[in-house]
């Protein structure tokens, strides 16, 4: 009998692991509906299995089925009230629902969102994602319903104690949101020095673009490209030079490098690089090269209205 019980237990565990692996692979392939179906069957058979419930909640969340995600994450919180990550996921799903309903309904949800995140932070002093959520929540909430820059900075300080780069990025976010771009720039630069990731560079670039400082943005993207060798940055440099009609020779060079090095891993189709080259040549009054590249763009994406409009403008040169 004991052997049978052990065998049955390990058989169930093996089934669970197989289903979990399949579900995570479906997530990786963005097949969230299939993952949902698989986990619904699993949870029906094993209604108290926390891992199955969590994956089912995640499947709903990926599809923006917030009520279903909330229901499953609430089950997790009830099953294991001392697990910080369950409170974090529950609060996150509640928060996303609050964004999807009208303001009056959202007001009735915000208190639960805040409590879920605060509970997660208290349960796990090292939970970085929860502290990021609280930084953003307290900055985005109006003061009349609990928004507070000082509380946001408090959690940014906690982040900095856990991870300097996250702390710097959080403070950059806070001061950018507070319309203090000089202070935001200081912290984003510290994040670049400390972490140097593409995300750090991107935050600083976006700040410069928002402040209409294209030359600073271009210089920052060039530094990121040297550091990471990311081909997408070549396109972004070219796009920015075309949008702002600045450093056009640099933009042309970057776009040609992007096209030469293009691979399936790059985010932007080559058609858009040719479109940006056409814009640059149009601004340089080079009608022949502008037409050549807009035709290359249209050959790849013939129905694109932006490309058609650009060709009409080039023909008028």
Q: What is the pLDDT along the chain (317 residues), one digit of tens a residue?
A: 343 333 333 333 334 457 788 888 888 999 999 999 999 999 999 999 999 999 999 999 999 999 999 999 999 999 999 999 999 999 999 999 988 888 788 788 889 999 999 999 999 999 999 999 999 999 988 776 778 999 999 999 999 999 999 999 999 999 999 999 999 999 999 999 999 999 999 999 999 999 999 999 999 999 999 999 999 999 999 999 999 999 999 999 999 999 999 999 998 999 999 999 999 999 999 999 999 999 999 999 999 999 999 999 999 99
pTM for the complete prediction? 0.86
Domain spans in the chain, listed from the N-terminal domain onward? 230-317
CATH number of 230-317: 1.25.40.10
Angle of helix 50-62 relative to helix 32-45, nearest 10 degrees, comes to 150
DSSP annotation string for 210-263? HTT-HHHHHHHHHHHHHHH--HHHHHHHHHHHHHHT-SHHHHHHHHHHHHHT--
d(CA 158, CA 131): 8
């Amino acid at each position: 009998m004991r052997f049978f019980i052990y065998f049955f237990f390990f058989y169930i565990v093996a089934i669970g692991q197989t289903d979990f692996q399949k579900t995570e692979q479906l997530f990786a392939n963005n097949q969230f509906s299939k993952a949902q179906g698989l986990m619904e069957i699993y949870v029906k058979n094993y209604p108290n299995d926390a891992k199955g419930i969590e994956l089912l909640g995640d499947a709903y969340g990926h599809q923006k089925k917030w009520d279903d995600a909330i229901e499953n994450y609430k089950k997790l919180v009830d099953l294991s009230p001392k697990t910080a990550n369950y409170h974090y996921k529950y609060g996150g799903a509640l928060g996303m629902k609050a964004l999807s309903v009208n303001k009056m309904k959202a007001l009735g949800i915000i208190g639960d969102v805040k409590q879920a995140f605060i509970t997660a932070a208290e349960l796990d002093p090292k939970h970085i994602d929860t502290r990021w959520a609280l930084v953003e929540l307290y900055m985005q909430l109006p003061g009349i319903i609990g928004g507070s820059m000082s509380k946001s900075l408090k959690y940014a300080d906690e982040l900095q104690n856990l991870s300097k780069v996250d702390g710097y990025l959080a403070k950059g976010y806070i001061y950018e949101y507070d319309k203090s771009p000089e202070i935001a720039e200081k912290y984003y630069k510290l994040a670049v020095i400390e972490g140097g990731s593409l995300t750090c560079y991107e935050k600083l670039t976006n700040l410069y673009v928002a402040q209409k400082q294209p030359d600073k943005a271009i210089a920052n993207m060039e530094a990121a490209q040297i550091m990471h060798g990311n081909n997408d940055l070549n396109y972004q440099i070219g796009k920015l030079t075309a949008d702002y009609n600045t450093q056009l020779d640099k933009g042309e060079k970057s776009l040609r490098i992007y096209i030469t090095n293009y691979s399936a891993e790059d985010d932007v189709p080559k058609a858009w690089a040719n479109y940006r080259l056409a814009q640059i040549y149009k601004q340089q009054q080079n009608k022949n090269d502008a037409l050549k590249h807009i035709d290359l763009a249209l050959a790849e994406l013939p129905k694109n209205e932006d490309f058609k409009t650009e060709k009409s403008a080039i023909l008028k040169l």
